[in-house]
Structure 1
């Protein structure tokens, strides 16, 4: 089974990862500000993207803003990651999510054990990967790597 894959250099991967992290947090803060404005709320501090301690409630506008912003951010970031990393969206999406979890733990000084936070993060990650991969396939379908199964 012949599978020819060109592996990118470490420097390229790290530059792409840095670009994806910058895209992710830039989109996050823009979407967060738009959501706070739409709900006519004041952003209390810049820690909103890392807030996992807000109790989940469908009638709490602050929680709804946090939930909507994380979901929209993940979807839009997945589409923008395609422009940077082409078909490797899932790999960078998972890595950026792990970085986000680590930063959240450091900023909030504890590990997020709240189920609602993980559910929002997981559904956002799925939308990021699915949306990004669909766009990547549409844009780069001639460049995708398919294994040759003749010898299988």
Structure 2
């Protein structure tokens, strides 16, 4: 029985990670498309959600679309991650953020070094983890597995 669980566990984690990644990018593109419409941008850039080179300015609509869509994605994804994985939101959130950083680097063929982009990733990830873990606790507090600290 235990060997069956050990084989099944990594598959479930990988399946949940794929689902969370797909949820993240679906929400990211939907949020970016909504920002495109609301902010009346000139052209829809399919690489827009991965743009870290746009100079930050509150009057730059392209920057606002990128920022708003990214932060909205982190918040909405945290709610959806709770429904998918129920707990360990911080782990899935951090892993999806690393995947996003990797994809962004590959799409732009350059590692992001812009401080404003890293700040938006950090703020969004913090909001995702905090909101997701609080929501998961309130929804599933009777199902949480608490570690036995006496073994440590």
**Normalised TM-score (structure 2):** 0.90
Deviation at 1:121, TM superposition (A): 0.4
Say yes or no: does 1:85 pair with 2:85: yes
Deviation at 1:147, TM superposition (A): 3.7
Any gaps of 5 or more consecutive residues in structure 1?
1-5
Higher relative contact order (CA 8 A, sep 6+): 1
Deviation at 1:45, TM superposition (A): 1.9
1:127-149 deviations in Å (ceiling 9; x for gaps): 11111111101110001123445
Pairing 1:92-111 to 2, within 5 Å after superposition: 92-111=92-111
Q: Give the distance between the partners of 1:102 and 1:131, measured in 2 at CA.
A: 24
Any gaps of 5 or more consecutive residues in structure 2?
none
Write 1 or 2 for the structure with the bigger share of helix.
Answer: 2
Q: Give the distance between the partners of 1:94 and 1:150, measured in 2 at CA.
A: 28
Say yes or no: does 1:146 pair with 2:146: yes
**CA distance 1:151–1:104, change in 2 (3 Å):** closer
Pairing 1:2-151 to 2, within 5 Å after superposition: 9-148=9-148
Deviation at 1:59, TM superposition (A): 1.2
1:31-61 deviations in Å (ceiling 9; x for gaps): 1111111111134320011100000111111
* Deviating 4+ runs (over 6 angstroms): none
CA contact (8 A) 2:89 2:133 kept: yes
1:74-94 deviations in Å (ceiling 9; x for gaps): 000011000111111100000
Q: Give 3-state SS (helix, strand or coil) of 1:9's partner.
A: helix
CA RMSD of aligned residues (A): 1.7
